[in-house]
Chain A
């Protein structure tokens, strides 16, 4: 087999070879840090939710706790979740809680500040299963609920009569 060299072919090889080397030089540090940045996490059916909740509240394995709290409530009633505007942690916590609250219908309230008194006072407690506070303060007039880690509190307003 003979290989014919020409200036065009040499320029072609040099161009693409140079681009390949430059690309690799640019990418490898980024890929390397991406590969080595995180250790292996524990596995489990809810491992993503658990990771999010641990990140936001510091509590481990909180997904199961939340699910069992929500399961103890009347499924036909809605769950109200309060989150703070301009607080990504609070918003993320609220959405993760909404995910876990199925099959309950949910309603997310994004409030300015940390006191949801106004919004809560307008609600009919008979229509609610629970109120969840995500990095939002529970009003003093509401009884204390189940606190998960720091910044997440679930106040049940309608628990099932019979509990296992």
Chain B
């Protein structure tokens, strides 16, 4: 019964996501199967959680999942009618098959790890708690939860993409089940590997490049086994995958007339602040990168509307919290103003030291940041390609902003505050680091933003191969 319910939950979620994908991509762009699955999942989780929240303002009980299911099925039907074209098949070579098997085994291990471990501390008390309470209250978080000072430890002000995706499973299962709630996190890992493979193919024209990077994703302990990793039930890893999709799409959108990827960028961008509050910083950075691309590629001003859905979600959530009398300011931080900033300037150097120490924290990151640094050195010579500054800014600016936020830490020992959370914050941008390594390894040189034709493969066309074994690009 549980398997059938899970199938229903995931099926409706993917159906909704696929419907949105077909509306965004239209028939002008070929998307590989892995891209279709990845974007369907990301858009599906965003859409279902938003629908549950919005409809939950008006209805609750059996009517709520009923209504959302009908919309999911309708969107699935739209997707079925408008199907996004897929590129032609090509037989994979032996190396690609080998890498495909490795990636498959790694995915199996991540699922195993996810079931072996319980939800992490924040996974239970910041995220799952909201799904649990909403399920017990007919699909709507009780108003008392937001104003209950005794439960302030669970951060009622955090957004609902992850809890309401868990809630969607609960509504289908008919009970709040912490074990099955964990299934969504290894799926985010699968989506991450799919995106790395697909973007690798688009960036470099070679399938093996993407497969190789996807295989290495597993070997960063912070992604697979550490606190806050893909198995812990925290929102950090899903946020990093949304950010990867956002920046990856924006990179592809730097090619002229690639509006399908620009629309996908806009959709993923909008969901960043809906996944985690820190997503607001990623939203600001990715939106600034988007503005840069619009100006640099001389797109029409209507493209600035891409920022509107995200702003709507940010403002909508703020208004909702105000209406619920939820605390909006984080207790961990002092008021963010110039006065506090100037009086705590002496923290900046120790903060940068702490960041550097984190970069060479080998048990957590292995050599990942060192490899990224080598990749960055490779890309510095390619700044004329608008995609390169996008990638570099998307990697570095959030790190700097995250670090500056600790200037406002209210903890007596602010470096302890840094030590507890910096690895999870760096995780948000780590997949973008993989894109940089990908470009550096492939030594792809782009002299102009014109489409690159390499064996008929471009970001615009994505003439990639589909086979039963390596259906991954």
Contact = CB atoms under 8 A, between A and B. Distances in A.
Interface string A69-102: 0000000001001000000000010011011001
Interface stretch (A48-56, A122-130, A143-151): A48-56
B109 A48 contact: no
Interface in B19-41: none
A106 B124 CA distance: 17
A96 B218 CA distance: 31
Nearest to B117: A38
Nearest to A33: B225
Nearest to A99: B129
A106 B150 contact: yes
A60 to B, nearest CB: 14
Interface in B142-201: 142, 144-145, 148-151, 153-154, 175-179
**Chain A: number of interface residues, binned into ranges:** 35 or more
Given A47-B118, A51-B118, A98 B150 contact: yes
B219 A108 contact: no
Contacts of A46: 178
B116 A38 contact: yes
B121 interface: yes
Contact of A40 (B116, B137, B218): B116
Interface string B431-460: 000000000110100000000000000000
B150 A26 contact: no
Contacts of B363: 30
Given A27-B219, A51-B118, A34 B366 contact: no
B359 to A, nearest CB: 14
Contacts of A47: 118, 178-179
A105 B371 contact: no
B366 A16 contact: no
A124 B129 CA distance: 29
Contacts of B148: 105-106
B368 interface: yes
Contacts of A81: 150
25 contacts: A12-B443, A16-B440, A20-B216, A23-B216, A23-B368, A27-B219, A27-B220, A30-B366, A31-B225, A34-B113, A35-B112, A35-B225, A40-B115, A44-B178, A44-B179, A45-B178, A48-B124, A95-B125, A95-B154, A96-B124, A98-B150, A98-B153, A102-B133, A103-B142, A105-B144
A27 B113 contact: no
Contact of A28 (B117, B119, B124, B219): B219
A23 B112 contact: no
Interface centre among A20, A23, A46, A103 (most CB of B within 10 A): A23
Contacts of B345: none
Interface centre among B109, B148, B218, B224 (most CB of A within 10 A): B148
A82 to B, nearest CB: 12
Given A20-B216, A41-B116, A45-B178, A35 B133 contact: no
B376 to A, nearest CB: 13
Given A12-B443, A19-B371, A49-B178, A26 B133 contact: no
B294 to A, nearest CB: 34
Contact of B225 (A34, A43, A96, A102): A34
A140 B178 CA distance: 37
B291 interface: no
A161 B144 CA distance: 25
A31 B221 contact: yes
Contacts of B218: 31
B442 to A, nearest CB: 10
B83 interface: no
A105 B151 CA distance: 8
A30 B367 contact: no
A19 B221 CA distance: 16
A51 B443 CA distance: 49
A41 B109 CA distance: 16
A105 B143 CA distance: 11
The 5 closest A-B pairs by CB, nearest first: A34-B225, A106-B150, A27-B219, A48-B118, A27-B366
A64 interface: no
B122 to A, nearest CB: 11
Interface string A100-137: 00110111100000000000000000000000000000
B136 interface: yes
A40 B179 CA distance: 12
Interface centre among A45, A48, A81, A98 (most CB of B within 10 A): A48
A15 interface: yes
A151 to B, nearest CB: 18
B362 interface: yes
Contact of B144 (A12, A40, A92, A103): A103
A27 B221 contact: yes
Contacts of A49: 124, 178
B374 interface: yes
Contact of A26 (B145, B151, B153, B362): B362
Contacts of B368: 23
B220 A92 contact: no
Given A22-B367, A38-B116, A103-B144, A15 B178 contact: no
A86 to B, nearest CB: 13
Contacts of B224: 31, 34
A22 B374 CA distance: 14
